[in-house]
């Protein structure tokens, strides 16, 4: 069963190894455990709904609790404390586009706010009820998850918007295909959510971001269904797909998604290489991306992330031997782990591997075969589970991410890390910070930073610590030519930083679109665009 | 010097070989030559400007004549007749974004229409002055063509919007880079025009369409400069680049374009392969595109295009020998020529070639080496020049294009060809029609159809013939799941078909954007969206 106050299935547990806790204690101090509320306590705190019972939705208290928050750190703290503050007044589970249209009509007639809800995995406050005098109706798309159409000649598949990663892949794999979209949230997040928030998967280097995969579909709006026909490419004016993508529920509710799929690859492998230091590693990965070697993923951890990963991996004896070998080959302290993958046919993969190895060797890369690559592949969706046991050990972990041009990657990365590392200095608290680059492009790279700190004496003070860190890093991002999000979207948490990133005229244009689709402001208000 | 009433430089002449005229006479009848007007006659017909002289623009008669039309077939007929009907009242040649802003202010204060003008190569009526009580000011960006910034780490180059293909490539090549965007109009068309009309280049398979190359830039609007920052990727809301691209001058005037560039490739080759018939050729090219073999271009001519190309190539003796050899190898009548390219490093190119050959062999492909591929590369920008000598021989040639999903390519192609082939049957005229696929995607392909017919007894009747053909084919396209344009844009000629393609709600959204940027409708009215 899914955890009500944490990530994923309750039977999946990612242990923090014994030496892991020691590693963290040495870096940020001994952990502090805050008390968790029980589900019963949390349920007891849900206020009465402002909506009367209705056949189109549920006013059940547990439904309302379970759809009140996503997976951001503030969401986590609220759930562990059992105090969520605001809750939807009802949750609807439409089974068809027609149901969604009825809900839109209801929202119009009864002046409700609507919040579209996919997998509830937002880490930016997309689905949190706003403070509003209007009753809030959350629309879960969980019952619209079927494969509706498959065009095997054109490699196009049409799904309901609520299909989760496993639902997408299992329905496609049965026919010999894959979407190839694997964000870390894949187990729970949904196709409609990926489109609405411009998601990116771990193998975007081969399959593309959701922008390349989303071929068309339907957005249910107050004026009726906005249908976007699929073309392989078109020069017929501005591309409305790109208005639907990233709209985060502000313009309508996605009822159908057509995606570009691929035949299942014949061969896929992942490899680990250690680079002797960050400077060489950064150059290596940039040039590898720009050389267009057909790889399917590239992930470069900086020195602290590499050290942390090895410390938290368990198996200290094996790691010690590995580190001895690496040091002997020139990758000692300061070494950076690069993981990369090849996906496709065997001949192409063999050449891609050979070209990547040759390329990395020139930068002092020490190739370690598939061991660490396979480890990455096995654990690719497990990182979010770690928050649970870090929390139980007395630590808070969160991540944030951006993207910028190559000429700015090192500068921005350092500024972000510094802003976090020093972010709690006034309280005398240390923050453990590390980073990887995991989506690389010819023009630049994503920057994905993880930070670990200790809870304060209670929940409000812990939230205040997070707010200080998040604000400092977000400000650094938008003031230094980063985007406020490469893959998580804007939601309510990033909305305050959008003006600095995009400027007034861009925001005016988005506001004009919002007014066009939703003049009364009933659709997910506060998300994407501040109220 | 550039031809005032035709394509390209007057010193470039593409001859129609003797047997070419015979080939066409056998298919559509003996040509009919209509009389061309002289430049003097055409100039004498330009009416007085409605605008008084001003330091910001020229009211010179020749400037106004030379900026009144693009390169569509109606434009061609009007220019050859020397009667253009409508002319801009003035032509401005801004040298900076500041000049463009002054022109926008002038248009606002004096209630003018503005038409942004790049290379004047539109084949869809983008730059033709509308019928308007407002004076029309055409804004040529020819004097804004410089490379303004080069970020060699991020592979980003910033240009003025008026840089033509050769101006872009020569400024980049001097530094070891290429944009890799080579539309057939490359010699004359401009970067700003490519962005505004969503252009696609012949090697889009490697370099991407302009959508993939356009990283950001500035659109000068009535509310000020809309600046779009460049990120390698972003999840921060809808992508405004995609609103600028395809906006065709309706929302503002592009003053700066930042593009993603590539290092010049170490190796590039083009090859020719004959497939025995269309059915096998279509399957072969689809599967080749979907197998992701890293090719840089693919172009498949259908049987009639293959036959026509060989007939118009000259060298009948060599062609006869080639055809004998091909027939012996299984590619007789009905054979289809596939041209493909590999671009990159030698090892990758060798593997790509090997995989492509192996793949095509399974479909009966007869490989003929680089001879025909090199021929294609030499002549890649020369096809538009052929209109001149076909015209002089008494024939009209035009092309049209669309894109659709693979499952619909054959159906749509046949319907388009039939609509054109039978389009003048009521007049007892035959039309010679042939097609190629030249931009292939996993999802589908472009369809590029050429048609040759005879002029009628005078210019108006000849235009009526074209209108009948164009309308029939355009209607077929939008009624059969094609896009009205894959690479030429909408302009005024395709605007009437946009509603059928996109539906009312999409068009309403584009209208809302147009009202947002240009409430009074002064920017290129009638283009993209009908008045």
- Rounded Cα distance between A122 and A513, Å, is 23
**How far is the C-alpha of A293 from the C-alpha of B347, rounded, in Å?**
11
pLDDT for position A350: 98
Q: How far is B380 from chain A (nearest CA, A)?
A: 21
Residue indicated by tokens 């709904």:
A49
List, as ranges, residues 328-367 from B with C-beta within 8 Å of A: 344-345, 347-348, 351, 355
Pick the residue from chain A with its C-alpha nearest to B501. Answer: A229
> Which of these, A106, A135, A125, lies nearest to A68 by C-alpha position?
A125
How high is the pLDDT of residue B501?
98
Measured distance CA(B209)–CA(B97) in Å, rounded: 26
Interchain contact, A248 vs B237, CB within 8 Å: yes
Partners of A214 on chain B (C-beta within 8 Å) are: none
Between the alpha carbon of residue B296 and those of residues A255, A430, B195, B207, B383, the distances in Å are 37, 52, 21, 8, 20
Query: B312 CB contacts (<8 Å, ≥6 apart)?
Result: B16, B17, B20, B23
Query: What's the mean pLDDT in B430-459?
Result: 98
> Quick check: A294 and B294 CB within 8 A?
yes
C-alpha angle A315/A321/A323, rounded to 5°?
A: 100
Of chain B, the end-to-end C-alpha distance in Å amounts to 36
Contact by Cβ (8 Å): A410, A448: no
pLDDT digits (tens, 9 = 90+) for B209-257: 999 999 999 999 999 999 999 999 999 999 999 999 999 999 999 999 9
Q: Which residue has the tokens 């070639």?
A: B353
Instruction: Indicate the helix (H) or strand (E) that contains B466.
Output: helix B459-479
pLDDT mean over B46-73: 97
Exposed, middle or buried: residue A153 (CB in 10 Å: 0-12, 13-18, 19+)? Answer: middle
The overall average pLDDT reported for chain A is: 97
Taking CB atoms and an 8 Å cutoff, what residues of chain B touch A490? Answer: 235-237
Tokens 């090892």 -> residue: B347
Q: Please give the structure tokens belonging to residue A291.
A: 């050389």
Backbone angles phi, psi at A171, to 5 degrees: -70, -30
Q: What is the pLDDT of residue B391?
A: 96
Going from N- to C-terminal start, the domains of chain A cover: 34-140, 147-263, 267-380
CA B339 to chain centroid, in Å, comes to 19
pLDDT value, residue B14: 87
Per-residue model confidence (pLDDT) at position B494: 98
Cut 0.90: pTM above it: yes
Q: pLDDT above 90 covers what percent of chain B?
A: 96
Q: Which residues of B touch A348 (CB under 8 A)?
A: 293, 351, 355
pLDDT, tens digit, 9 for 90 and up, residues B169-220: 999 999 999 999 999 999 999 999 999 999 999 999 999 999 999 999 999 9
Length of chain B, in residues: 531
Burial-class residue B47 by CB neighbours within 10 Å (0-12, 13-18, 19+): exposed
- Reduced to 3 DSSP states, what percent helix, strand and coil does chain A have, rounded to the nearest 5? 40, 20, 40
Answer whether B406 sits within 8 Å of A236, measured CB to CB.
no
- Give one DSSP letter per residue of B470-499, joined into a string: HHHHHHHHHHTT--S-SSS--TTTSGGGHH
For the cut 90, the answer to whether the pLDDT of residue B473 exceeds it is yes
Which of B443, B474, B489, B519 to substitute to test the interface with A, most A CBs within 10 Å?
Answer: B443
Name the residue facing B235 among A405, A486, A502 (closest C-beta): A486
pLDDT at B313: 84
Q: Which of residues 391-430 of B touch A (CB under 8 A)?
A: 403-408
- Of the pLDDT bands very low, low, confident and very high (cuts 50, 70, 90), residue A185 is very high
d(CA A356, CA B350): 17
pLDDT value, residue B269: 98
Mean pLDDT of B446-454: 98
CATH class of A147-263: alpha beta
> Cα–Cα distance between B114 and B98 in angstroms, integer?
16
Token reading at A298: 């590239």
Nearest to B444 among A154, A244, A263 (CB): A154
Chain A hits for B516, Cβ within 8 Å: 508-509, 512
pLDDT in tens, B266-287: 999 999 999 999 999 999 999 9
In whole angstroms, give the CA distance from residue B70 to residue B90. 16
Chain A contact for B197, CB < 8 A?
Answer: yes
Average pLDDT score over residue span B58-64: 98
Cα separation of B474 and B125, whole Å? 15
* Residue that has been written with the tokens 């003070």 in this structure: A461
Our CA-based measurement puts residue B140 at a distance from the nearest CA of chain A, in whole angstroms, of 21
Residues of chain A contacting residue B487, judged by C-beta atoms under 8 Å apart: 235
For the stretch A78-112, pLDDT in tens is: 999 999 999 999 999 999 999 999 999 999 999 99
Q: How far apart are the first and last CA of chain A?
A: 36
pLDDT at A316 over 90: no
User: In chain A, which residue's Cα lies nearest the Cα of B409?
Assistant: A154
ipTM for this model: 0.96
Nearest to B196 by CA among B132, B154, B139, B261: B139
Residue B405, token pair as written in the block? 């999903």
Q: What are phi and psi of B232, to 5 degrees?
A: -60, -30
- Binary contact (B351, A347; C-beta < 8 A): yes
| Residues of chain B found within 8 Å of residue A241, distances taken between Cβ atoms | 242
Mean pLDDT of B85-99: 98
- pLDDT given for residue B444 in this prediction: 98
Taking alpha carbons only, the member of B457, B204, B489, B234 closest to residue A197 is B234
Burial B106-122 (b: 16+ CB within 10 A, else e): bbeeeebbbbbbbbbbb
pLDDT value for A438: 95
Q: Give dist(CA A395, CA A225) in Å, integer.
A: 46
Hey, are the CB atoms on B506 and A240 less than 8 Å from each other?
yes
Strands B136-140 and B90-92: parallel
What size, in residues, is chain A? Answer: 531
Of the candidates A310, A305, A306, A311, the residue with the CA atom closest to the CA atom of residue A18: A311
B34-140 and B147-230+238-263 have identical folds? no
CB atoms within 10 A of CB A500: 13
Tokens of B94: 């801004």
Whether residue B198 and residue A235 make contact (CB cut-off 8 A), yes or no, is yes
A279 touches chain B (CB under 8 A): no
Region for residue B71 given its phi and psi (left: phi exceeds 0; alpha: psi -120 to 50; beta: otherwise): alpha
In which residue are the tokens 């985060």 written? A248
* Structure-token match 């894949």, residue found: A186
DSSP B246-260: T-TTSS-EEEEEEEE
Q: Do A513 and B238 touch (CB under 8 A)?
A: yes
Q: What Cα–Cα distance (Å) separates residue A338 from each residue in A184, A274, A306?
A: 18, 6, 9
Least CB-CB distance to A235: which of B294, B485, B517? B485
Contact B294 A290 (CB under 8 A): no
Task: Quick: pLDDT tens for A187-235.
Answer: 999 999 999 999 999 999 999 999 999 999 999 999 999 999 999 999 9
Those of residues 212-271 in B touching chain A at CB distance below 8 A are 215, 221, 223-248, 260, 262-263
CATH code of the region B267-380: 3.30.70.3450
Segment B310-323 mean pLDDT:
89
A197, B246: Cβ pair inside 8 Å?
no
pLDDT for res B305: 97
- The third-level CATH classification (topology) of the domain covering A34-140 is 3.30.43
Q: Which residues contact A94 (CB under 8 A, 6 or more apart)?
A: A56, A100, A102, A103, A139, A141, A143, A144
Instruction: Reply yes or no on whether the pLDDT at B23 is more than 90.
Output: yes
In this prediction, residues A121-127 reach a mean pLDDT of 97
Report the b/e string of B8-23 with b at 16+ CB within 10 A.
beeeeebebeeebbeb
Residue B486 contacts A where some CB pair is shorter than 8 Å: yes
Residues 6 or more apart whose Cβ sits within 8 Å of residue A90: A49, A51, A54, A57, A58, A59, A63, A64, A135, A137, A138
Segments in A379-520 forming alpha helices (H): 383-392, 406-421, 459-479, 498-502, 504-517
Shortest distance between the Cα of B482 and any Cα of chain A, in A, equals 7
- Give residue B471's pLDDT: 98
Phi and psi dihedrals of A328, rounded to 5? -60, -35
> Cβ(B352)–Cβ(B293) under 8 Å?
yes
Give dist(CA B30, CA B7) in Å, integer: 24
Three-class DSSP category at A527: coil
- Average of pLDDT values for A423-446? 98
Which candidate in B233, B259, B516 is best for mutational testing of the A interface (most A CBs within 10 A)?
B233
In degrees and rounded to multiples of 5, residue A214 shows phi and psi of -75, 110
What band does B17 get if pLDDT is binned at 50, 70 and 90? confident
Residue numbers in B near A218 (CB within 8 A): none
Chain B residue with minimal CA distance to A240? B506
Task: Pick B235's closest partner by Cβ from A263, A294, A487.
Answer: A487
B147-230+238-263 fold: 3.30.465
Of residues B470, B474, B404, the one with CA closest to residue B439: B404
């Amino acid at each position: 069963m899914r955890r009500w106050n944490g990530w994923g299935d309750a039977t999946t547990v990612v242990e923090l190894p014994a030496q892991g806790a020691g590693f963290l204690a040495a870096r940020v101090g001994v952990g502090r455990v805050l008390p968790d509320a029980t589900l019963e306590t949390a349920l007891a705190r849900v206020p009465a709904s402002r909506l009367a019972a209705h056949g189109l939705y549920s006013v059940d208290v547990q439904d309302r609790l379970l759809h009140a928050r996503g997976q951001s750190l503030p969401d986590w703290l609220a759930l562990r404390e059992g105090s969520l503050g605001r809750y939807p007044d009802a949750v609807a589970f439409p089974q068809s586009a027609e149901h969604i249209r009825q809900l839109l009509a209801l929202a119009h007639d009864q002046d409700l706010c609507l919040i579209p809800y996919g997998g509830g995995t937002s880490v930016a406050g997309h689905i949190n009820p706003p403070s509003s005098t209007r009753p809030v109706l959350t629309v879960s798309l969980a019952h619209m998850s079927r494969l509706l159409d498959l065009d095997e000649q054109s490699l196009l598949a049409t799904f309901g918007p609520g299909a989760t990663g496993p639902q997408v892949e299992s329905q496609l794999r049965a026919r010999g295909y894959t979407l190839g979209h694997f964000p870390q949230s894949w187990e729970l997040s949904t196709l409609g959510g990926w489109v609405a928030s411009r998601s990116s998967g771990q193998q975007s280097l081969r399959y593309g971001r959701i922008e390349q995969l989303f071929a068309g579909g339907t957005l249910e709006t107050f004026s009726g269904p906005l249908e976007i026909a699929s073309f392989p490419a078109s020069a017929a004016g501005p591309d409305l797909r790109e208005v639907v993508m990233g709209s985060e529920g502000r313009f309508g509710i996605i009822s159908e998604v057509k995606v570009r799929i691929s035949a299942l690859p014949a061969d896929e492998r992942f490899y680990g290489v250690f680079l002797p230091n960050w400077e060489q590693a950064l150059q290596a990965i940039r040039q590898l991306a720009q050389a267009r070697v057909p790889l399917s993923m590239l992930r470069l951890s900086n020195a602290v992330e590499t050290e942390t990963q090895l410390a938290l991996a368990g198996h200290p004896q094996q790691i010690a031997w590995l580190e001895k070998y690496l040091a002997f080959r020139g990758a000692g302290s300061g070494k950076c782990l690069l993981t990369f993958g090849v996906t496709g046919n065997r001949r192409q993969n063999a050449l891609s591997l050979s070209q990547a190895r040759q390329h990395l060797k020139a930068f002092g890369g020490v190739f370690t075969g598939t061991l660490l690559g396979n480890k990455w592949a096995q654990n690719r969706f497990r990182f979010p589970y770690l928050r649970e046991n870090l929390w139980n050990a007395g630590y808070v972990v969160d991540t944030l991410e951006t993207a910028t041009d190559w000429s700015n990657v090192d500068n921005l990365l350092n500024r972000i890390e510094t802003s976090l590392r020093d972010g709690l200095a006034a309280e005398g608290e240390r923050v453990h910070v590390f980073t990887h680059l995991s989506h690389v492009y010819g023009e630049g790279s994503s920057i994905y930073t993880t930070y670990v700190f200790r809870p304060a004496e209670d929940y409000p003070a812990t939230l205040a610590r997070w707010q200080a860190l998040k604000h400092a890093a977000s400000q650094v991002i938008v003031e230094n030519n980063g985007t406020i999000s490469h893959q998580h979207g804007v939601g309510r948490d990033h909305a305050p930083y959008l003006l600095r990133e995009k400027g007034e005229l861009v925001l005016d244009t988005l506001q004009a679109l919002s007014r066009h689709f939703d003049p009364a402001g009933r659709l997910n208000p506060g998300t994407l665009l501040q109220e």
